[in-house]
Amino acid sequence: MKKIFFILCINILLADGFIIPIPPRPHPRAKIYMDLKTHHVKIKTINRICRVEVDEVFYNPYNFRIEGEYIFPLPKGAMPSEFSLFINGREVKGEVLEKEKARKIYEQIVRRLKDPALLEYYDRNLFRAKVFPIEPKREVRVKIRYEYELKRKGDFYEIFYPFKIEGISEKPVEDVVISFEIKDEKPIKLCFSPTHKVDFHKKENEVIGAYEAKNVKPDKDFILYYSVSREKFDLDLLSYKKDEDGFFLLGISTPTQPEKKEILPKDIAFVIDVSGSMSGEKIEQAKKGLLFFVEHLNKEDRFNIISFSSDIVPFKKELVYASEENIKEAKDFIDKLEAVGGTNINSALIYTLELFKNKRPSYVLFLTDGLPTVGETSIERILKNVKEKLKNQKIFVFGVGYDVNTVFLDELSKEGKGISEYIEPNENLEIAISSLYSKIMHPAIEDVKVEFNNIEVYKLHPAEIGDLFYGQDVFIAGRYRNSGTGQVVIKGAKKEEEFVFEKTLEFPERNEELDFIPVIWARKRIAYLLSQIRIHGENKELVDEVEKLGKKYGIVTPYTSYLVREKERRRITLGISGARFKAEKKGKLAIKIAKELGKMEEIVVVTEPEIESIKRIGTKVFYLKDGFYVDSEYREGMKLIEIKFGSDEYFDLIRKYPEYAKYLSVGENLIVVIENIAYRIKE
């Protein structure tokens, strides 16, 4: 009787671990499963030498002992002599198989399991070792440690973590922690993950952070990038170019903290809605946020507080310096704020904008929880009035609750070159206010412009940066036509003097490694197009581009929701019709849409819709149709070759095109396009 294999994929930084349980013979079960309880990874990088420590716990849920085999696809460049495996405190010896021998093992397992998920790692060397015994109802703890040298990708160093177990494991992983500590002799400038949301703290020569999750089935590899430089301000580039115009991701970094002599004095006015609807917890949280605001001003800053309901009640008639006396008076003013009356938004904003008289960095923090009910109530006229008064002021908006007009507030913040944030009833307003103020506390460069010389670029997002702050990282995604060496120049103002920084960067003719960059650009582009549609109304060209990009890159939008099955649609924020998308200006759904668009515009994490009908691998997208995952590049009339899954022809195809093995990991039934020929894989 054939041994029955099951792979539980346990993904480790730069290498996945698999335990293959072998049940006692004979045994009636067709498959047996081991649970993965915890998966903890510690990554420590010092001057680009990376040490990885993995600690994971398996559980045997059965009443019989299991023999197992541990398989570990090795990271590229990792030295086997630096690789060790410990099981229950005992070092276990294993063997290292070179890539060609390893492929035969991968193929054998794929045939037996009838599951192509392993093909993601078809191009890796392999470590394997025996795991015995795995006692019934007992845990097995596996610890792994190895070292390797980081590789450079563009201007960044890459930490890559094959973390894809979707389709291999039956149960979610109970507890996942990937912590990292990066140290370098040079100052660390930029750090980001395009695949997972990570929290990190950056100092001059060190970054400490982590990704944490509970009860998850990881569905994509984990990647982390960081750059180093001795420049105070710097530019770093990642690019992708295949058969069409290239894509790039340009990072702009600032020093973590300014030197005392570099702190720019600023003018800030906080405009707070104190109408009746703000009564209770909302006004109390807003007051606490305001206290944080005034307590953290620099002495050379000037400020004011304008409270409004039916009438306008300012703290002072003009902007005043942040002296001890003025701060004490401001605290008393805040303490006496009460919520009562209507909402006169127009008068409050116009009054505030007229307070600013000079060219210092100028910011308006505007908080409201409702629609205009007093004075000018036309949204269009309010926006027109604000545009006429705007000079160099930046407007940051807080929309509180579900009664705000999100389209109005989004356009207000865009005109003011700021951002809009939305605080739902269950969120903490005080934290949101203090968090935003912390971000804009130290302006570094005003009115930043980015220029490209010798390289033709287009469709940049964001198109405008506004001001750049200390400790802020900005990423611009865009397209480029010609290739070669180009100069990128940052221009702006610093203490009313011109600021210029330039750097020579390479835009390659071909680079197919970083296939997440086109998806990041597409998400930012779609977010921009949808914002234009929400604010200015539908335009056929805009809608057509959203549909085209959504389908090409597997991004669900109000105009591509037809690609999603009905039962999956309600799980996606933007999975609504275009007509309803336009109509949603206020209410719970409108807030969620505004938040989602804000994330798409700002972050550089490639998020996947939690649905089965769309699978994205690199730049290829597969849609589920009649039981088959169909490559979006497939067209009727293409030459179509049928191949049986797991057959000799199937693995001949993979050996001929090993770079396409990862696409075949999508499933047993699929149509994939390789060099303009379609292959129909079926069970």
Distance CA 528, CA 542 (A): 10
| Domain co-membership, 196 together with 76 | yes
Nearest-5° Cα angle at 66, 63 to 67: 170
Locate tokens 């570099």: which residue? Answer: 262
- Residue 3: pLDDT band with limits 50, 70, 90: very low
| Domain co-membership, 187 together with 277 | no
Least confident of 160-164, 396-400, 420-424, 592-596: 160-164
User: What are 158's two structure tokens?
Assistant: 């890459």
Identify the pLDDT of residue 412: 93
455: pLDDT strictly greater than 90: yes
The model's pLDDT over 248-291, given as tens digits with 9 standing for 90+, comes to 999 999 988 888 777 888 999 999 999 998 888 888 888 888 89
The model's pLDDT over 53-77, given as tens digits with 9 standing for 90+, comes to 888 888 888 888 887 777 777 767 6
Residue where a domain terminates, one of 439, 466, 496: 439
Identify the pLDDT of residue 128: 77
Average pLDDT (318-336) is 95
Half-sphere exposure of 40 (CA within 13 A, CB side): 8
Cβ atoms 106, 118 nearer than 8 A: yes
Least confident of 98-102, 127-131, 526-530, 668-672: 127-131
Mean pLDDT of the chain: 85
The model's pLDDT over 167-205, given as tens digits with 9 standing for 90+, comes to 455 688 899 999 999 999 999 999 999 999 999 998 889
Half-sphere exposure of 647 (CA within 13 A, CB side): 11
pTM comes to 0.88
Q: Is 604 exposed, middle or buried (0-12, 13-18, 19+ CB in 10 A)?
A: buried
Rounded to the nearest 10 degrees, the angle between the axes of helix 540-553 and helix 517-536 is 150
Who has greater pLDDT, 454 or 429? Answer: 454
SS (H, E, C) 411-452: HHHHHCCCCEEEECCCCCHHHHHHHHHHHCCCEEEEEEEEEE
| Domain co-membership, 91 together with 171 | yes
Average pLDDT (501-512) is 94
Backbone torsion region of residue 643, taken as left when φ is above 0, otherwise alpha when ψ lies between -120 and 50, otherwise beta: beta
User: What are 658's two structure tokens?
Assistant: 């090993």
Q: What is the DSSP string of 282-311?
A: HHHHHHHHHHHHHHT--TT-EEEEEEESSS
Q: Name the percent of the chain lying above pLDDT 90.
A: 43
CATH (domain of 382): 3.40.50.410
Other Cβ atoms closer than 10 A to 119: 22
Distance CA 367, CA 374 (A): 16
Other Cβ atoms closer than 10 A to 245: 15
Average pLDDT (22-46) is 73
632 falls within a domain: yes
Least confident of 65-74, 152-161, 434-443: 65-74
486 falls within a domain: yes
Distance CA 493, CA 449 (A): 10
Identify the pLDDT of residue 28: 47
| Domain co-membership, 370 together with 495 | no
114 falls within a domain: yes
Least confident of 55-59, 136-140, 204-208, 218-222: 218-222
* Burial letters 312-334, b for 16+ CB under 10 A, else e: bebbbeebbebeeebbeebeebb
Q: Is 13 exposed, middle or buried (0-12, 13-18, 19+ CB in 10 A)?
A: buried
The model's pLDDT over 460-475, given as tens digits with 9 standing for 90+, comes to 999 988 899 988 889 9
613 falls within a domain: no
Identify the pLDDT of residue 318: 95
Cβ atoms 618, 659 nearer than 8 A: no
Cβ atoms 680, 645 nearer than 8 A: no
| Domain co-membership, 521 together with 573 | yes
- Residue 139: pLDDT band with limits 50, 70, 90: confident
* Burial letters 266-295, b for 16+ CB under 10 A, else e: bbbbbbbbbbebbeeebbebbbbbbbebbe
The model's pLDDT over 544-594, given as tens digits with 9 standing for 90+, comes to 999 999 999 988 888 887 776 666 665 565 666 777 777 788 888 888 888
Identify the pLDDT of residue 329: 96
Distance CA 672, CA 498 (A): 54
DSSP-derived 3-state class of residue 40: strand
Length of the chain in terms of residues written: 683
- Residue 336: pLDDT band with limits 50, 70, 90: very high
Least confident of 8-12, 98-102, 181-185, 292-296: 8-12
Distance CA 319, CA 363 (A): 12
Distance CA 171, CA 217 (A): 7
| Domain co-membership, 57 together with 175 | yes
Who has greater pLDDT, 473 or 80? Answer: 473
| Torsion angle of C-alpha atoms 659, 661, 666, 668, degrees rounded to 10 | 150
Least confident of 128-132, 281-285, 648-652, 674-678: 128-132
Q: Which of 348, 13, 326, 295 has its CA nearest to residue 158? A: 13
- Residue 16: pLDDT band with limits 50, 70, 90: very low
- Residue 80: pLDDT band with limits 50, 70, 90: low
Least confident of 122-136, 197-211, 234-248, 350-364: 122-136
- Residue 166: pLDDT band with limits 50, 70, 90: low
Quick one: how far is CA 104 from the chain centroid?
A: 36
269 falls within a domain: yes
| Domain co-membership, 99 together with 114 | yes
The model's pLDDT over 523-536, given as tens digits with 9 standing for 90+, comes to 999 999 999 998 88
Distance CA 119, CA 126 (A): 13
Q: Which of 683, 682, 655 has its CA nearest to residue 674? A: 655
Average pLDDT (637-649) is 91
Identify the pLDDT of residue 322: 95
Q: Which of 333-337, 417-421, 596-600 has the highest mean pLDDT?
A: 333-337
487: pLDDT strictly greater than 60: yes
- What single-letter DSSP state applies at residue 230? S
CATH (domain of 251): 2.60.40.1230
- Residue 26: pLDDT band with limits 50, 70, 90: very low
| Domain co-membership, 151 together with 66 | yes
- What single-letter DSSP state applies at residue 350? H
| Domain co-membership, 330 together with 468 | no
CATH (domain of 222): 2.60.40.3680
239 falls within a domain: yes
| Domain co-membership, 63 together with 112 | yes
Query: CA–CA distance from 64 to each of 6, 27, 233, 321, 628 (Å)?
Result: 16, 10, 62, 76, 38
Half-sphere exposure of 502 (CA within 13 A, CB side): 10
Residue where a domain terminates, one of 388, 410, 439: 439
| Domain co-membership, 362 together with 410 | yes
Cβ atoms 336, 239 nearer than 8 A: no
Cβ atoms 663, 651 nearer than 8 A: no
Q: Which of 341, 396, 388, 391 has its CA nearest to residue 367? A: 396
Distance CA 117, CA 682 (A): 15
Backbone angles phi, psi at 374, to 5 degrees: -130, 145
Least confident of 76-85, 342-351, 431-440: 76-85
346 falls within a domain: yes
Which domain, by its residues, includes 83? 8-228
Least confident of 378-382, 430-434, 529-533: 430-434
Number of domains present in the structure of the chain = 5
The model's pLDDT over 652-666, given as tens digits with 9 standing for 90+, comes to 999 899 888 889 888
| Domain co-membership, 201 together with 126 | yes
Nearest-5° Cα angle at 572, 566 to 575: 65
* Burial letters 530-558, b for 16+ CB under 10 A, else e: bbebbeeeeeeebbebbbebbbbbbbbbb
416: pLDDT strictly greater than 60: yes
